[in-house]
Chain A
């Protein structure tokens, strides 16, 4: 059973009179533990797809099964629980809460999930250590470098031990070297079994993934796992 199964997914935006088909006839399966790069030109629907996978958005048609369960029909609260337990997000612009320290930012998903303070503190300490942020625990985001911010964001995304980590241009706001560090960090997480899906413009980063999905005009143009099947 695949971790993620998309069947006939459509996502249509209406902007006044014009209709934008952000995703059309999308059928993709992703196994647990895979490392997938989603690539394609700007406006091709990469972020839309990632938001859909993260249950931040609902498809207009089609079925999305996560761990065998149809999640498109869940209530918003049930979807929130799935996001809390099974999905981790990493964003291009980090999205740290500016008034909270690194440690508090990392603790946020656990706080939202109702985990007690003692366990939170313990897991935050572990995460800070794992991501080399021990000395930055009490720093607020504006006192951190870009790379450190993204490491805090990754620590936050993984502290609930999700099944899948979704990263939308995680290196987009970072210089080459720092970006590579972040990618290595994500790959290390993948090596330990976490499914990793990265949206990127960067060919070099994309080619590191074991599987590439090429998007164009809302369609899946190429899937390196099935080179023949989806050619147009």
Chain B
């Protein structure tokens, strides 16, 4: 029997019994849809976290004052205040390291901005011109902080987009004078909106030269030092060299913590990938259940069509032909179920994305391939037994059942 004929015969047989066919297709579809939606959720969570961290900038290495026993990173200690450990000179010393592309000091505190007749609380970040590139920020208007001696800051400020919006509305902000605490500063630039990062909403930050911030807060310490490695491969070298330099500068004491975005990311990435895989595994159980259902449906089909099988044998069908016809039918049920489920799953993920736009709920490729593969192979695997049973039927006995 020709392959095309076997397929057509199997298709007609499947559509000839719409109820049992649609039930097994449905079971398979639910299984696949479950895998697709659940892995979309899991992978969406992973992407969300990765995106959040990636927003920090590329090849980023962060130096924190104080020794962290685990070397780990938690948002909680990102918010704690600075021990008097890191200084602008420390930061500047790091600029000479070969593996380092850029360094930006970061001093932070809260203050009040008043301008254009309005007053509001803001986060003040004292940093340097390099900060813009390290964080991959873009300017909406004007320019970022000017280059120059880090220990002597010019009286200028760059404001986040939300502050610009709230204080100046649609009027021009660049060139305007503001009061920040007891300082009078001139706005030289406005940042494009960026959102959350490093524990603060950058759109609500006022950036000033590090020296200005330090004198504003009457301190000489830094909250962080941000370093951009020359390449991804040099992140470890940066870590090593930075630790060595700062240890030397701090009288041989290793009183800093160096964290890399990579390490943090990798942890989250691993965690969430494992979670996604676990969820996919659970959903895959429903695929196995669907496979068993296909088997039952095919067994019923063999019983229902015993007379027909006997007839086919009488008409000269080989055992293999009958087996192939039933296998093809099982494969079709699984295939149609799998692709229906795939469509349903994609639709489910789409609905999720509509409901939670920040959440990138796309099913990962591996999950889609695994789901379709499992659906097809369980369908075929569980199709073997009924198909062989059909092929082995005794034609005389089979013909009597009609």
Contacts and interface: CB of A to CB of B under 8 A. Distances in A.
B315 A97 contact: no
Q: Interface size for chain B: under 10, 10 to 19, 20 to 34, or 35 or more residues?
A: 20 to 34
B19 to A, nearest CB: 14
Contact of A91 (B1, B320, B399): B399
B318 interface: yes
Contacts of B310: 95
B313 interface: yes
Contacts of A81: 316, 318
Q: Which of B316, B395, B399 has the most chain A CB within a 10 Å cutoff?
A: B316
Interface of A: 51, 54, 56-57, 76-77, 80-85, 87, 89, 91, 93, 95, 97-100, 108-109, 111-114, 116-117, 156, 160
A80 B1 contact: no
Contact of B313 (A80, A82, A100, A160): A80
Given A95-B307, A99-B12, A108 B314 contact: no
Contacts of B395: 56-57
B315 A109 contact: yes
Given A77-B319, A83-B315, A99-B16, A56 B1 contact: no
Contact of B402 (A89, A95, A109, A156): A95
For the complex, would chain B's binding face be called helix, strand, loop or mixed by DSSP majority?
A: helix
Contact of A112 (B13, B316, B396): B316
B1 A114 contact: yes
B141 interface: no
B314 A57 contact: no
A45 B323 CA distance: 31
B321 A112 contact: yes
Contact of A113 (B307, B308, B316, B319): B316
Contacts of A100: 12
A111 B307 CA distance: 18
B402 A114 contact: no
Q: Across chains A and B, which 6 residue pairs bring their CB atoms closest together, nearest first?
A: A84-B316, A99-B16, A83-B316, A80-B318, A56-B395, A109-B315
Contacts of B320: 77
Nearest to B317: A112
Given A100-B12, A111-B5, A114-B1, A95 B399 contact: yes
